[in-house]
Structure 1
């Protein structure tokens, strides 16, 4: 990394830290807040999560296309920062009241706010960081680990704060949003827009709508989407109400909530450590094998949760998440860089990665919530593991291994490829 880029690298790391601190403050115990503080049952909670994922799925393509056209502009990040600052007043005085008095309206309004601010915002910031890493010459994983640390820092205290007053977690998000904006306003990225580096040249040609339509015709795009939908999407639904399931292993739910906060914090700190080594691992096994490894970890965790008989087993399953997240993120960006046009990286990540998961959650979350209420968490988890296992086997055949050439454009597979671009990590 150039010495002149170190300040910008630290600023980007700060953005990731405080965004995920805000995200974690509101969402680490979100399902418990809905279940305990608001009083919604499993099916109603599933409806909330389904609406959230629908909103995220609709917003993600918009964010992706717009950011690809804006390039290095910070305008969308400013928008997200403003929304983060509004988290406490919205959730405390608007969202909670609507959920208690008019569930449907509360679900719709809350999904729109949370979708723009956090659920879709997380993918946007990650894709923006990946694009910036091409210009600055740093590894994406080294910056993204600060996001994991931010999440862990929040979960380390949010469990205790929730026991005191659930509203504190939303004030934590607002405070973090203010710091996020202050860092963002200090960043000056104008010099990278005029960079003559190879990474900058890869983004030189303007993005046209035709490029997006051509992307949608590529079989490898849909193969990638299948993995994200059938494996990662189901895993995301599994993880939504996992805190409720975990706390049920304790005689006193308050003790379960507090224990989950400590466990979640420990998991994310380990995740941050693994983020340092994930680029090294993926560079040796390849992006496709990294995705398959991630899917295997997800399968083991879901199935293990379904057959768990005590809190130590379920806690061990939770810690597997620390291995899965770094491998998935690095593998996904590596796979995108090696198989698609780098100018469309934001769209590919937000649509092929994030929105594909949201599509699954949109349909599955209400069904899962109904299943939790009627047949129990364990039985639903075993069924989920079966579906994930089948989709994982299909992905082993359909995902594309890195070839000798670098297929980083949206042209068909039989057409000549452009010169390789700078790798992500």
Structure 2
């Protein structure tokens, strides 16, 4: 019992400092591109699209490696090493390259950002989800600390950004050193024998993981129905969040005030998110994974549409952002549980990184430059109404395409 509790606290702390690092670098990334990099909405859309393409290349690689190595910590060590390099990379490599040529800079940046953050985040989450099954703790209870880490970093990010736009990246590097210590402290048995699996998952352990399992996965109809949900709903989650900080900060008298107020807003939202992350497993276990995904889609539709209807009123826009607090936990927990119930246990990491993250990045790569152009031409409010309608359409479609599986505790 003590050993399981120690593992829980080590990896909950790991979640905290990983998302602290993530938030330090990425919560104001859109603002950094505009104010420090001098990019307009279209330029930022190009960067976000290329970032998504870079993630497309890395997601399947990370997914295959994660399922192949199981509970070995090699991949997490690589990710931590990349995070430690965040400060020098952003200040001395990425920023000068973007100024020299936006396409060269974006391509180089997409490789680093994908490996350290976008795909790195997914690899960390799937690893700890497996640890949770092995040592019998709920993923959401541990992931809650990640939300707290994000909130704490974001609370100060606006202020440190106003001091120096590159300072947050050096904070990320410092936080990553703590991650290295935590990973070194963790002692995980590599055997899968104690993982709490369903009967279907137990039977899947007859054969070891191989590439043919991935081929079998992508030929499955239920795989593509899940991908449709991701392309229609979850990728809009990413597209909306990419430039929302820019929109919210623009509602205030000065960029400095806007940066600071967004930091406070995002911090408050993520603190609420952490509380809901603790409760979300109870909600999803009660209603089932499919209904959880549909609920997340309806919450996203409400949040994005209301952002458009608020039409530049700071307090009203801030209120819509808080819907995010329930939407994110319900979506993440539902995705993990839907994957666990419907797919072979040997391909859970591949399913998460390819079925979810890869598909989401693909959708974002296509929609980000379109959204960036619309922001410049018709404004944020009208663009949000179109994005909201898109989400509602695919939520309705998903009612008929997602599998209605049994609840999973």
TM-score bracket for this pair, using the shorter chain length: over 0.9
Measured at CA, do residues 312 and 194 of structure 1 come closer, stay the same or move farther in structure 2, by a change above 3 Å?
Answer: closer
- Can you list the C-alpha shifts for 1:312-359, whole angstroms capped at 9, x where unaligned? 110011111111111011111111111111111101111111111111
Deviation for aligned residue 1:134 = 1.1
Contact 2:70-2:190 within 8 A present in 1 as well: no
Could you say which residue in structure 1 is the equivalent of 2:138? 139
Deviation for aligned residue 1:3 = 2.4
Deviation for aligned residue 1:229 = 0.8
Match of 1:193 among 169, 177, 191: 191
Deviation for aligned residue 1:121 = 0.5
Could you say which residue in structure 1 is the equivalent of 2:363? 360
Could you say which residue in structure 2 is the equivalent of 1:336? 339
Could you say which residue in structure 2 is the equivalent of 1:317? 320
Contact 2:20-2:175 within 8 A present in 1 as well: yes
Dislocated runs of 4+, deviation >4 Å: 200-204
Q: Does 1:295 align with 2:293?
A: no
Pick which of 193-202 and 45-54 moved more: 193-202
Contact 2:134-2:192 within 8 A present in 1 as well: no
Q: After TM superposition, list the pairs within 5 Å mapping 1:10-409 onto structure 2.
A: 10-189=9-188, 191-193=189-191, 195-196=193-194, 198-199=196-197, 203=205, 205-309=207-311, 310-403=313-406
Measured at CA, do residues 196 and 247 of structure 1 come closer, stay the same or move farther in structure 2, by a change above 3 Å?
Answer: closer
The residue matched to 2:178 in structure 1 has which SS? Answer: helix
Deviation for aligned residue 1:205 = 3.4
Q: Using the alignment, how far apart are the partners of 1:75 and 1:237 within structure 2?
A: 31
The residue matched to 2:215 in structure 1 has which SS? Answer: helix
Contact 1:158-1:169 within 8 A present in 2 as well: yes
Contact 2:134-2:194 within 8 A present in 1 as well: no
Q: Using the alignment, how far apart are the partners of 2:287 and 2:233 within structure 1?
A: 20
Contact 2:10-2:182 within 8 A present in 1 as well: yes
TM-score by length of 1: 0.92
Count residues with an aligned counterpart: 404
Q: Using the alignment, how far apart are the partners of 1:368 and 1:197 within structure 2?
A: 43
Deviation for aligned residue 1:209 = 1.3
Contact 1:279-1:330 within 8 A present in 2 as well: yes
Measured at CA, do residues 23 and 13 of structure 1 come closer, stay the same or move farther in structure 2, by a change above 3 Å?
Answer: same
Contact 2:288-2:406 within 8 A present in 1 as well: no
Deviation for aligned residue 1:196 = 4.5
Contact 2:72-2:190 within 8 A present in 1 as well: no
Listed as ranges, the gaps of 5+ residues in structure 1 are: 405-422
Measured at CA, do residues 248 and 3 of structure 1 come closer, stay the same or move farther in structure 2, by a change above 3 Å?
Answer: same
Deviation for aligned residue 1:225 = 0.7
- Can you list the C-alpha shifts for 1:122-170, whole angstroms capped at 9, x where unaligned? 1111111111111101111111011111101100101111111111100
Pick which of 259-268 and 13-22 moved more: 13-22
Q: Using the alignment, how far apart are the partners of 1:177 and 1:71 within structure 2?
A: 23
Q: Using the alignment, how far apart are the partners of 1:349 and 1:197 within structure 2?
A: 18
Contact 1:234-1:361 within 8 A present in 2 as well: yes
Question: What's the C-alpha RMSD, in Å, of the aligned pairs?
Answer: 1.4
Q: Using the alignment, how far apart are the partners of 1:113 and 1:342 within structure 2?
A: 29
Listed as ranges, the gaps of 5+ residues in structure 2 are: none
- Can you list the C-alpha shifts for 1:218-274, whole angstroms capped at 9, x where unaligned? 111111111111111122111110011111211222211110000000011100000
